[in-house]
Structure 1
């Protein structure tokens, strides 16, 4: 971000606008929604500005801006619609300590004015750093449609009631109260009129005071392969409610950004053949936080039911008498095969697929290599980078065709996805030469669709000759 979004306290502070034409009018219509003291300095101000001054909504100084006009101002807008005059007035305001915005001059402005959805005191600010104002307006229209006008009324009433809710302990119990108010009791009460809202709040508070503390809970959530758009709605909702998020090292920063800001984020990364947190310590960490009555999300890349040590964590949770839920995610194989334009199974090619792991807890994993080496077999091999030479050797030793296609996909579904198309005989040194650094999945028996099409074309040419 080149611009850091903040909400500036402006009530009772000066806002100065230099200019009296259309650009100034556009800014003033927004600024007059604030509780700031607005001063317009303009030689020739539009009739609307004169009327607003007469109504006491702003102060009009009918002359060109001069030194001293921006003293103690929080914000200054240069809206003269003249580049030289904007530069002159902006220099004065900058020297006098105001934050400066020059209309239609992003480069020389110290701040930008976002598109705003106003449900006072709920305010949604939308910015594109000047890159796409049309997009900002579209988002504003969508948000306007999604937020009912009554939302502001509920928020204002809720604000006056906040001190009464301090009787509830901070954390999940207080959040549950406000969620019940804003998304259930409040909207229902306001349908009967504003006078019904306070009694509804008082009744709801009494109910929450009388309820016992909620027991802890664990959601075992699949974060998918990395693309935030592949996260399921159920996973997204779990992150939104979590008090604690315990994640593995392959969960992307973009996914973690979706967790509640107040949530505690804990990295419990495990790396094959490298430094990692022991599984027993992860189990204990999950139980420790859930036993405090917290909502814990154990966030795993891909799908937790596929090589995710899910059973070990469930056993620890059950032993502690804690409730849990499994939220499946899109596994890496599904995302990766989509990335090469193929399907995991195909009529006439393979009616089954094997999901294999490249290593187990003691080293390289062993499998039924003779069956896998048969013609037409397809396998998705997880965690296979370091064991590639071992897998290659075992398959060749058991009679696999050296020309069997092998595809390795690094960072499947992410913006930095890489696809390596090779054959079993060339799997090594292809992997070593590629110097992969991200998570990778290996497809044995599958080539990218474009590579397969090229190979078939070559075969047809050879047959014609």
Structure 2
């Protein structure tokens, strides 16, 4: 982010525009919506600018810009539509201490004016740092259609009502009051005032809100693979308790006011205990909070889900499961494969490489048989153990194995190897992110070739 978005106070402050043509008019139409003291310096000002000056909406200086014209100005716009003149007046404004914007010259501007959706006092600013103005306009159009034309009216009435709303306790109860108000469509100022009074009475006399818990799957990492239901839960959550593997881009989708609590677990490393996580969930929900327990992938797959449900039930707290796309589904998609294929395998196993007690033993004899496919979670650090067990039970050392690191994320990496070469392949790869190990699957091109060899051998 090269430009930090802020809303600058312009009430009573000086803003200067140099230029009197179309570029200046475009800026002035926007600036006239503010309460700034506007000055235009232009030898040849458009009739519209002269009309605004006659109406005392701005001050017009009918000449070329001179030193001192931008003195005490908070903002300055160079809008002469002439590169040489804009460079000259920008230098004068710099000397006068103003922040300078040169129209259509991003590189030499100190600030930019974003596209805006105006529902005064509600303003939505959209910026692309000059990279895609067409995209900014498209986003503006989309937001314009979604926001009620009466939203500004509701915000103005609501602002005047804030002192009364302080009768509600700070936090969830007050936030619920305002959320219900802004989700109500009003027809007039009187309607808005009546709605606020009725809602305040309702929320003052309401019973203490019961907390609840959503056990939410965050998916494998790509924010676009987050379900709509998970996105809604994040938007409504008062508290988000998240795992170490949840992508930062997904955490960014949580409500800004939400309390964010890390409950990271790391295999064979420092971790927050499950008892501590259960206590976090229960204590916040008991306080009336909407808690989102955010887990990487799908919470029903190796997510310690039952223990957290049992903790909620023991405390009488309502809970809901929001499934997510498990990491194995995203990883196998990255290979261009399916888990099952007619003539190859009719089933797939999801297994874990280790649990809280260490390496996990499975039916290695069955897994070692030809044609078996398994997705091994948390198998990175237990790879040598898995390799040894499979070979010991008769697995063909040439059986394909694929390791997918950071499935679905921009830094996704795919390693194609075999059981016999699983180690040292993983050690040499220096994997840093979460990884899944697929037994019996290779990336599509390699798998198609192996299938063809198997078919020919069968003939």
The normalised TM-score by structure 2 is: 0.96
How far the C-alpha of 1:110 sits from its partner, in A, is 0.8
In 1, distance between residues paired with 2:303 and 2:69? 65
How far the C-alpha of 1:463 sits from its partner, in A, is 12
Give the equivalent residue in structure 2 for 1:404. Answer: 399
How far the C-alpha of 1:283 sits from its partner, in A, is 1.3
Distance 1:286 1:463, change over 3 A: closer
Give the equivalent residue in structure 2 for 1:77. Answer: 77
Matched, 1:154 2:154: yes
Matched, 1:330 2:325: yes
Give the equivalent residue in structure 2 for 1:35. Answer: 35
- Greater shift after overlay, 18-27 or 285-294? 285-294
Distance 1:357 1:45, change over 3 A: same
Give the equivalent residue in structure 2 for 1:134. Answer: 134
In 1, distance between residues paired with 2:299 and 2:284? 20
In 1, distance between residues paired with 2:238 and 2:350? 34
In 2, distance between residues paired with 1:49 and 1:325? 60
> Which residue among 418, 436, 439 is the counterpart of 1:441?
436
Give the equivalent residue in structure 1 for 2:270. Answer: 275
Deviation digits for residues 204-225 of structure 1, max 9, x if unmatched? Answer: 1101110021122221111111
In 2, distance between residues paired with 1:50 and 1:461? 87
Give the equivalent residue in structure 2 for 1:120. Answer: 120
Deviation digits for residues 13-69 of structure 1, max 9, x if unmatched? Answer: 111001111211111111111111111001111121112211222111001112221
Question: How many residues are aligned here?
Answer: 459
SS in structure 1 at match of 2:287: coil
Give the equivalent residue in structure 1 for 2:225. Answer: 230
In 2, distance between residues paired with 1:391 and 1:133? 53
State how 1:178-327 maps to structure 2 within 5 Å. 178-184=178-184, 187=185, 189-190=186-187, 193-327=188-322
State how 1:53-92 maps to structure 2 within 5 Å. 53-92=53-92
How far the C-alpha of 1:455 sits from its partner, in A, is 4.4
In 1, distance between residues paired with 2:393 and 2:452? 30
Distance 1:8 1:263, change over 3 A: same
Distance 1:347 1:455, change over 3 A: closer
- Greater shift after overlay, 209-218 or 363-372? 209-218
SS in structure 1 at match of 2:11: coil
SS in structure 2 at match of 1:433: helix
Question: Where in structure 2 are there 5+ consecutive unaligned residues?
Answer: none
The normalised TM-score by structure 1 is: 0.95
Give the equivalent residue in structure 1 for 2:26. Answer: 26
Question: Where in structure 1 are there 5+ consecutive unaligned residues?
Answer: none
In 2, distance between residues paired with 1:377 and 1:452? 14
